[in-house]
Homo-oligomer: A and B are copies of this chain.
Amino acid sequence: MVNRVCSLFNIEYPIIQAGMVWCSGWKLASAVSNAGGLGIIGAGSMYPDVLRTHIRKCQANTKFPFAVNVPLMYPNVSEIMNIIVEEGVRIVFSSAGNPATWTKFLKDHNITVVHVIASTRFAMKAQDAGVDAVVAEGFEAGGHNGREETTTFCLLPLVSSAVHIPIIAAGGVGSGKAMLAAFALGAEGVQVGSAFAVSEESSAHPSFKARVVSSVEGETALRLKKLAPVRLLKSPFADAVASAEENGADAAALAALLGHARAKLGMFEGNLEEGELEIGQVAAMLHQVRPAAIILQEIWSEFIAEKEKLIRL
């Protein structure tokens, strides 16, 4: 496929693996890049030195392009950005912060910059800051999420009518059908999170993966809206949050309930009772743990097959 997203990253398929805390280290990122998509190392759950190691291992394991995702609220963001430059990373996906802060620095080092947004207003702000593309992420996405709750179905055409840079769709995209729908709504690429979170190469705990692939429709919900909205899979911890929220718990009470390192506890250590289990609504469509290359190839084949079907309508 020849399109702006493939050209921007120099990849074969416009399928990007989301940078995800506790799931996407060098193993997953290199597997996706080797399969013809764009793999992303998620810096959000890594100390700077750990990130440096992951970048080097990723470079050693793929000759294809890969990226690093940096949540801009990260406390060590300066150190992270310097490591990215020092290690010769070519593509950065920034999220959770102001795109104006780091885009110029990265572009000055000839790094391709993509920013993750959940509203048209932020898409325009990112474009103004000089990013090369945006990821438009809908309400159905797993993990951290926008405040306005705009869904992928509604967000894509709104963003698409407001910016001229390429749009990568995220939230609800775990199949070729969904990829085709995203393209119909104006996307030129897709960012796939949940489906790769349960891949063999994901660094998430096997218990977390097993819980996700056996989950059913309606088991995720957007929680902690008074702190930072995050989509969680049902669990005793998520139930406790829901109950506190129903009773009107304020941000301080929720922060106390959340404590520290809950995502690590749930997703990396596999504590399904007390940990945070971040995953998208698309979890209900995931049924097995498989190699990332198979997941990517299945999305692409289904995209092509469904496009042919749509033509015949």
Contacts and interface: CB of A to CB of B under 8 A. Distances in A.
Question: Oligomeric state, in number of copies?
Answer: 2
Interface residues of A, number: 49
Interface string A232-256: 0000000000000011110000000
A154 B282 contact: yes
B313 A121 contact: no
A130 interface: no
Contacts of A148: 217-218
A151 interface: yes
B313 A310 contact: no
A11 interface: no
A313 B175 CA distance: 18
11 contacts: A1-B313, A138-B151, A147-B218, A149-B221, A151-B171, A154-B282, A157-B175, A158-B217, A181-B185, A226-B246, A248-B249
Interface of A: 1, 3, 119-121, 138-140, 147-154, 157-158, 171-173, 175, 177-178, 180-186, 217-218, 221-222, 226, 246-249, 281-282, 284-285, 306-307, 310-311, 313
